Structure 1
């Protein structure tokens, strides 16, 4: 297995360290430390006999660094609507679909998703970090602050601290939240209790778990969550690469 081979290699490095002349020992020890840092295993989806997957570590990264969430876990699902025409703008405004956030946001999302998965569901993303230049595109299409934040001020999406999400089962079936993403009406409000019990229960599960991990919601959108610790970050225009 790949996982076993990594640690077998580390064992050989440790043995060779003893045989290396003193002037090379420090270099070898540093190589061992670097190899250990790379071994981050996510076993959420592992089946018996499968090789564990390796993911990047947050070690050495500042909390404000932008990271691609899929590099740190495969436990999430994605339907990044603004990379398609299936959104309220009816236009594609991202060149390609990626979910980036700041490191501190990613850490909180991983912790929240761990709790969700214990209950048989996982986070599904509609939107993550949004470059400020994309905010300007959205404003050109719908220049209405009721639906799109003014790009001159920016939104917490532009800071890498907001996500638009829902929940789905581990088999990929979305939980019923009462409306689709970006439905602008009272049926999407958190304080609208005139809904079937299963919808209210699903929203409660989403809201309470996200709040437990440092996020807060807004009254009119059941899907939108801001990381409290990310509200003071600067608006950014970092653009991810597209192949």
Structure 2
């Protein structure tokens, strides 16, 4: 457990880093890299830079279609890409580093129970008023520490950039069907989930029990720091 002094020191370090990164457009804090530098073949489908997400609008902090991670997390994705390529597969990345301001945007949205424009696609069986209580929305996200990814499997050389393997639910589906071991999906869909989990675990990522797409680097370099520099 971190001491109070650790938490007192961590926040200034984080904000000093943010200020230095903001001084040069597109520059990143020490320890962070562009994912496509480490894994050039990875496919990006960065939903929070678009309006195709559960909120229905671009999310605060996403100013560019760019994926950012800590260096060890990005380099691990590069190794995963190399291994999957032998099967004609690769990763499709939905989200990587997420600014803390994005989590705050989600919280504001969750409190507005009248805004349900995306309910049919992302949470048809869950009342919006229950999203926070049931853990779908949180005040902080491991993504803001820079070593968490949301990914799926995709054909490596598909002509259609939207192509991906069927893992049983869309990304960001709010419901038990998204749990990795859900019995609601077919054997083939479960096999795809297992393949994704095994290759991610082999390269140092830990799965999350309620989202088949969510993985965090086990030995993340900033386990107690939530960053807020924008993606740009």
TM more than 0.5: yes
SS of residue paired to 1:109: helix
CA distance in 1 between partners of 2:37 and 2:82 (Å): 16
Stretches of structure 2 that go unaligned for 5 or more consecutive residues are 1-28, 112-131
Aligned residues: 176
Deviation per residue, 1:95-139 (Å, 9 max, x gap):
222100000111111111211111110000100000112221121
Separation of aligned partners in 1, 2:182 and 2:106: 28
Report the aligned-residue RMSD: 1.8
Q: Which has the higher contact order (CA 8 A, sep 6+)?
A: 2
Tell which deviates more after alignment, 104-113 or 191-200.
191-200
Are the aligned partners of 2:39 and 2:75 in contact in 1 as well (CA < 8 Å)? no
- Once the two structures are superposed, the pairs formed by residues 32-51 of structure 1 within 5 Å of their partners are none
**2:210 maps to 1:220:** yes
User: Which residue pairs with 1:31 in the alignment?
Assistant: none
Q: Which residue of 2 aligns with 1:206?
A: 196
1:61-76 pair list within 5 angstroms = 65-76=31-42
Kept in 1, the 8 Å contact 2:94–2:151? The answer is yes
**What is the deviation of 1:73?**
3.2
Give yes or no for contact 1:64–1:103 (8 Å, CA) kept in 2: no
1:128-147 equivalent positions in 2, closer than 5 A: 128-143=96-111, 144=132, 146-147=135-136
Paired position in structure 2 for 1:156: 142
- Counterpart CA distance in 1 for 2:100 and 2:176 is 28
Which residue is 1:35 aligned to?
none
Residue 217 (structure 1) shift: 0.9
Distance 1:67 1:85 in 2: 25
1: CA distance between counterparts of 2:191 and 2:136? 26
Return the index of the structure with the highest Cα Rg. 1
Question: CA deviation digits over 1:10-32, x for unaligned, max 9?
Answer: xxxxxxxxxxxxxxxxxxxxxxx
Contact 2:63 2:230 in 1 (8 A): no
> How much does 1:64 deviate?
6.3
State which of 76, 83, 86 in structure 2 corresponds to 1:115. Answer: 83
